[in-house]
């Protein structure tokens, strides 16, 4: 939690004002039993109605001022807590954006979503209550005890009750809290699994319904939710012991106080008003200790969530920039030199000893069977992942010596999963270039073979797209995905299996338009269809993470057995 407090720095004034006004309110609250004692001992005992009226008006004034103090404290504590959570959430989002693909894979999207939502909200609540009660509750509890000893200085049998009950109450509170702290942490962890299952079901809703798995998925979700509920109930039962135990202890203490206090009143050691004041102070102590216990429970939850947030905030991106330049006399624009790569936690390598060069303006096709490492290979160019061995060189410079953002500005990447966002067509294309003009957008759409379709829509570029592009066909999503990569006019264009949903005519027109681009980017086309890559200047054939052949279509069909098998399996042989 300590390392997150820097996000409260902008709200230092509010963080000071809130507890300060709570202390002012507490002082007024501590003064109330003294005023009530005066009403009983002087007003009622002497029949002085004027004094009673004055003291009642004083109580009303104290109540109004106390309410003003309380509202002021509430306002500033809420302002500080909300501002803190906004700063923290923005910083956390920025940190997540800076993490590498490997780190995101390890943590999982469900866990990160929980950190951004539930955990930050819990920390916000903890900060809010801490500013309001962390100083007030112990101040009132110990202040009430001090006032009780002053009021009952002549009645030791009455005041000794306070000396006994306070340690007993504190012991009960802390035993319950120590038992509940680890349970709350586990319950919050189980929430990650529930969120993960919910996310996967929402993303795969159509598949689940297509295979009629609603019932089994509901059962699995219920199982996870019940497990999380079980931990919450255990924690709730433990903390639920707090109120009854403290009430029993304090009510027993009140009975003893009244019994001993009555004897002290009869002996003349204290007055009836002072006995009532002692009773009020005992009640104040009870209320504040319960408040403090609930505050500690909330703080405990907040600290557990803060620890989970800190684990993300303190994680350094493994995308370090190495000051290492490997420039040769011969400088292919993109070069893989002895590249080996494995995903974090994987048992084996995805790519092994890959060597491949691509000249500026060259079209390079990459083909191979499922799981051969095609997408993994092109993901190394924009440095979504770092190589295990070897190097990926762009224009003679190792990508690890370049700032990732600077590198990616030169690259247009259209992934095999055409991810679109809710908004308009214009909004989605501008992800590729945020200041793109409509002419630039239409040029990219035209190259991607979807310009005519967009222009025919009633709202044109302002046509709405639902989350994930649910209101579009697969081919339309893929072409918009390509247009988003093209709009920035990249030096390197990567099309990762972006034609799987396109018909042959559209696919051919798209490849022809890409080849005719006036700025001549270096293009990598990943595909499982020979027809999509056969016209490339160079084709690399992958098998089991290794390059087994590089050349033109005709050369590979003659010399590479695996490529020939792929061609023949797609029914066309060398004439495909």
Work out the pLDDT band at 543, boundaries 50, 70, 90.
Answer: very high
Residue 174 CA, chain-centre distance (Å), reads 31
Same fold, 82-313 and 418-489: no
- The whole-angstrom separation of Cα 359 and Cα 357 is 7
CB 25 within 8 A of CB 69: yes
Asked whether residue 319 carries a pLDDT value surpassing 70, the answer given is no
Asked whether residue 221 carries a pLDDT value surpassing 70, the answer given is yes
- The whole-angstrom separation of Cα 496 and Cα 308 is 35
Specify the 3-state DSSP secondary structure of 540. strand
**% residues pLDDT > 90 (the chain):** 41
At 474-524, the pLDDT tens digits run 899 999 999 999 999 999 999 999 888 888 899 999 999 999 999 999 999
At 9-34, the pLDDT tens digits run 899 999 999 999 999 999 999 999 99
Q: What is the CATH T-level fold of the domain 319-410+490-576, as seen in this structure?
A: Rossmann fold (3.40.50)
Residue 129 CA, chain-centre distance (Å), reads 22
CA of 576: how far to CAs of 40, 196, 532, 535, 572, in Å?
105, 44, 10, 10, 4
Cβ density class 194-223: b for 16+ within 10 Å, e for less: bbbbeeebeeeeeebeeeeeeeebeeebee
Helix (H) or strand (E) holding 465: strand 464-465
Long-range contacts, 315-322 (Cβ 8 Å, 24+): 315/95, 315/99, 315/103, 317/98, 317/99, 317/100, 317/103, 318/100, 318/102, 318/103, 318/386, 319/98, 319/100, 319/383, 319/386, 319/404, 320/400, 321/400, 321/401, 321/402, 321/403, 322/398, 322/400, 322/401
- The whole-angstrom separation of Cα 272 and Cα 268 is 9
Superfamily of segment(s) 82-313: ABC transporter type 1, transmembrane domain (1.20.1560.10)
Q: What is the pLDDT of residue 575?
A: 47
Asked whether residue 559 carries a pLDDT value surpassing 50, the answer given is yes
Q: What is the CATH number assigned to the segment(s) 418-489?
A: 3.40.50.300
C-beta atoms surrounding 273 within 10 Å? 23
Overall average pLDDT of the 451-480 stretch: 89
Of 393, 367, 395, 369, the closest CA to residue 381 belongs to 393
Beta bridge mates, 526: 366, 496
**% residues pLDDT > 70 (the chain):** 95
Overall average pLDDT of the 71-75 stretch: 94
Q: What is the mean pLDDT of the chain?
A: 86
Of 317, 348, 300, 288, the closest CA to residue 135 belongs to 288
H helices of 99-155, where? Answer: 101-107, 109-114, 120-133, 136-151
H helices of 39-48, where? Answer: 45-46
CB-hemisphere CA count at 13 Å for 95? Answer: 17
Domain ranges of the chain: 82-313, 319-410+490-576, 418-489
- The whole-angstrom separation of Cα 288 and Cα 169 is 11
């Amino acid at each position: 939690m300590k390392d997150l407090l820097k996000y409260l720095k902008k709200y230092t004034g509010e963080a000071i004002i809130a507890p300060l006004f709570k202390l002012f309110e507490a002082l007024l609250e501590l003064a109330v039993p003294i005023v009530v004692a005066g009403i009983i001992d002087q007003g009622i005992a002497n029949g002085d109605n004027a004094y009673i009226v004055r003291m009642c008006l004083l109580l009303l004034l104290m109540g109004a001022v106390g309410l003003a103090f309380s509202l002021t404290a509430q306002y500033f504590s809420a302002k500080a807590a909300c501002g803190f959570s906004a700063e923290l959430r923005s910083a956390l989002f920025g940190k997540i954006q800076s993490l590498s693909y490997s780190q995101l894979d390890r943590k999982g999207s469900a866990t990160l979503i929980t950190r951004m939502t539930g955990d930050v909200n819990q920390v916000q609540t903890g900060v809010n209550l801490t500013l309001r009660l962390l100083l007030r509750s112990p101040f009132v509890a110990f202040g009430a005890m001090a006032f009780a000893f002053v009021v009952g200085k002549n009645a030791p049998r009455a005041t000794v009750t306070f000396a006994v009950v306070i340690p007993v109450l504190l012991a009960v509170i802390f035993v319950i809290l120590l038992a509940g702290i680890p349970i709350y942490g586990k319950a919050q962890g189980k929430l990650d699994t529930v969120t993960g299952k919910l996310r996967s079901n929402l993303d795969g809703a159509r598949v689940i319904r297509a295979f009629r798995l609603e019932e089994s998925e509901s059962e699995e979700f219920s199982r996870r939710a019940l497990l999380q509920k079980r931990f919450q109930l255990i924690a709730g039962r433990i903390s639920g012991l707090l109120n009854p135990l403290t009430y029993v202890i304090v009510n027993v203490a009140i009975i003893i106080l009244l019994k001993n206090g009555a004897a002290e009143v009869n002996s003349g050691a204290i007055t009836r008003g002072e006995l009532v004041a002692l009773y009020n102070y005992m009640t104040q102590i009870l209320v504040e200790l319960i408040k403090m216990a609930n505050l500690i429970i909330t703080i405990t939850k907040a600290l557990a969530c803060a620890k989970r947030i800190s684990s993300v905030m303190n994680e350094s991106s493994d995308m370090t920039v190495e000051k290492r330049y490997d420039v040769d006399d011969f400088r292919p624009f993109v070069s893989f030199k002895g590249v080996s790569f494995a995903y974090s936690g994987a048992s084996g390598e995805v790519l092994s000893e890959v060597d491949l060069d691509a000249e500026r303006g060259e079209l390079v096709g990459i083909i191979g069977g499922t799981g051969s490492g095609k997408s993994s290979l092109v993901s190394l160019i924009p440095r979504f992942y770092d190589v295990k061995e070897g190097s990926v060189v762009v224009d003679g410079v190792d990508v690890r010596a370049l700032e990732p953002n600077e590198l990616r500005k030169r690259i247009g990447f259209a992934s095999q999963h055409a991810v679109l966002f809710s908004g308009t067509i214009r909004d989605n294309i501008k992800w590729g270039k945020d200041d793109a003009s409509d002419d630039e957008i239409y040029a990219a759409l035209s190259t991607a073979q979807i310009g005519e379709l967009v222009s025919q829509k009633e709202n044109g570029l302002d046509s709405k797209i639902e989350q994930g592009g649910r209101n579009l066909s697969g081919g339309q999503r893929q072409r918009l995905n390509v247009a988003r990569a093209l709009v920035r006019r990249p030096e390197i264009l990567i099309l990762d299996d972006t034609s799987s949903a396109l018909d042959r005519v559209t696919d051919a027109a798209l490849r022809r338009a890409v080849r005719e681009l006036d700025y001549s980017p270096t293009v990598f086309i990943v595909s499982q269809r020979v027809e999509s890559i056969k016209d490339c200047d160079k084709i690399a054939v992958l098998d089991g993470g290794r390059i087994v052949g590089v050349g033109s279509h005709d050369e590979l069909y003659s010399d590479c057995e695996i490529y020939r098998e792929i061609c023949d399996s797609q029914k066309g042989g060398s004439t495909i």
